[in-house]
Each structure stands twice: as structure tokens, then as C-alpha cells.
Amino acid sequence: MNLKEQTVYANRWFQVNLADVELPDGRHLDHFLIRLRPVAVATVVNEANEVLLLWRHRFITDSWGWELPAGVVEDGEDTAVAAARELEEETGWRPGPLRHLLSVEPSNGLTDSVHHIYWSQEATYLGPPQDAFESSRREWVHLKLVPELIARGEVPGANMVAALLLLQRLRLG
């Protein structure tokens, strides 16, 4: 049980807090936790069962991988609206009606971050993405290739793995 929590550091995106945690056996420990804004994620699966992905570099892990467009939800913003905005900014594609796919907590032992993942069956290409710097390329990848990409370590994010496997199951059975 979290008995008391104090902020150690805070900025616009996150807070680092120190909590006094009481364990079930009555012992206490200090535990750092990160409070994060919600994240909105979106993609499109077209009629050919191809999913729109980003190939991007993550400097924290110094690795490249496939991801879905994602970003923080602004204060007061609906998660589906944020997901559509991120998809458009990062790919240049405006999604049709979005469907909620799943919400996950990628690291609930350390953060309270919730990632809300949406998808659409249609999109309109508007032109080059506004945030093209966020990825080196944007590609339509067939859902049948998803397990192979994951097995090769090309989809490093657990939230992205879960979403892509669920989309593959929904679309290909």
C-alpha cells in the first residue's frame, strides 16, 4: 500500500515521485515511481491487410524498430482525438473512424502510464508528415509478417507487440 508520496522532480511530461510503501507483511520500503501522461497510439490496416508502421531509432536504447504512431495526450484531449492527431502528424495519413483496440500499462511496476491504442480500416493520404523527423520511413507492412518481425526483435515495444498481434488475430484469424 502506498502510504505517502512526494514529488522529487516534475516537468511537463512526467513526475518522479518517492513513495513510502507498506508491504503485505508490514515492512516498509522507499519506491521510486514515474507518473506519466496517457499515451495515444493509432494505426491503419488497409484492405490488403497491411498495417501502417514507422521505422524509427530510439536513442535511449540505441536501437531501430517498427512502431505505431504515438504521443502524449494533451490536457483535456480525448484519447481517440489524440491518436488520430499523432497518426496524421507522424505519417501524413488521416485515419477514418477509429476503433479502440486495447489499453495497456507497459511498465506498471515503475510507471502509471496507460497507452490507449486505436486502429482504423481506412485513411486518406494528405502529404508528407509534419513530424517526418520522428521516423526514417513509413511503410505498409503485411500483417502476416508481424510474428517474424517480433521474433527478429524488430518490434521492441511491448505495447506495439500486443497491438500488432491482436490486429493480426482480428484480421487474419
Pairing mode, strands 50-58 and 93-95: unpaired
pTM of the model: 0.91
pLDDT at 6: 97
Q: Would you give the DSSP letter of residue 134?
A: G
pLDDT band (50, 70, 90) for residue 54? very high
Stretch 151-172: mean pLDDT: 97
Distance CA 173, CA 167 (A): 9
Sheet holding 70-72, edge to edge: 70-72, 39-44, 115-120, 99-104
Mean residue pLDDT of the chain comes to 96
13 — pLDDT class (breaks 50, 70, 90): confident
pLDDT in tens, 72-86: 999 999 999 999 999
pLDDT digits (tens, 9 = 90+) for 91-110: 999 999 999 999 999 999 89
Q: Where do we find the cell 505517502?
A: 4
Is the pLDDT score of 61 beyond 90?
Answer: yes
**pLDDT surpassing 90 at residue 67:** yes
Beta strand 14-22 with 28-36 is antiparallel
For the segment 29-56, the average pLDDT, to the nearest whole number, is 97
Strand partners, 18: 6, 32
